[in-house]
Structure 1
């Protein structure tokens, strides 16, 4: 079996994993037991949204097979990510 190289960054490791067959390095890995993943704490918010809009969102969420609150959260996260990228790009140009 091949020896897993040392990596300076997580990005280097990610690139290596994407371009190599990890089966060649299987003996290098340790078995992990009792992994505890901490979920980020969420905060409850209250919004006033038009009833017709809630109906539309619920319809879309049903088609996607998820709770409408989850869909709203995903949409907000996506939009925040887009806005942050746009702001970063705009501030670099200034």
Structure 2
């Protein structure tokens, strides 16, 4: 196995793994499942213009479900993308 180099930052590490085969550096036969309960996916803030009436309907539905309206929008978007199967 080749030693994994030290990386200056995440971008350098990403570039390395895009250009190299991990099987040269890791013995995947020894890999074990890992649980990372506190890991949160990276998120990016966006600005989205919605008609006021639509936003109010979303807020009412979120309140009915007792969830934040932004989380409900995110869930709906994820469900639709998953339904597309892409």
**TM-score class, shorter:** 0.5 to 0.7
Instruction: Output one character per residue of 1:15-54: Cα deviation in whole Å (capped at 9) or x when no partner.
Output: xxxxxxxxxxxxxxxxxxxx66311101111111000000
TM-score, length basis structure 2: 0.55
Match of 2:84 in 1: 83
- More helix per residue: 1 or 2? 1
Instruction: Output one character per residue of 1:30-84: Cα deviation in whole Å (capped at 9) or x when no partner.
Output: xxxxx66311101111111000000000000000001100000000000000012
Which residues of structure 2 form unaligned runs of 5+?
1-35
TM-score, length basis structure 1: 0.50
Give RMSD over aligned pairs: 1.6
When residues 56 and 36 of structure 1 are mapped into structure 2, their CA distance, relative to the original with a 3 A threshold, is: closer
User: Which sits farther off after the overlay, 70-79 or 36-45?
Assistant: 36-45
Larger radius of gyration: 1
Count how many residue pairs are aligned between Structure 1 and Structure 2.
Answer: 51
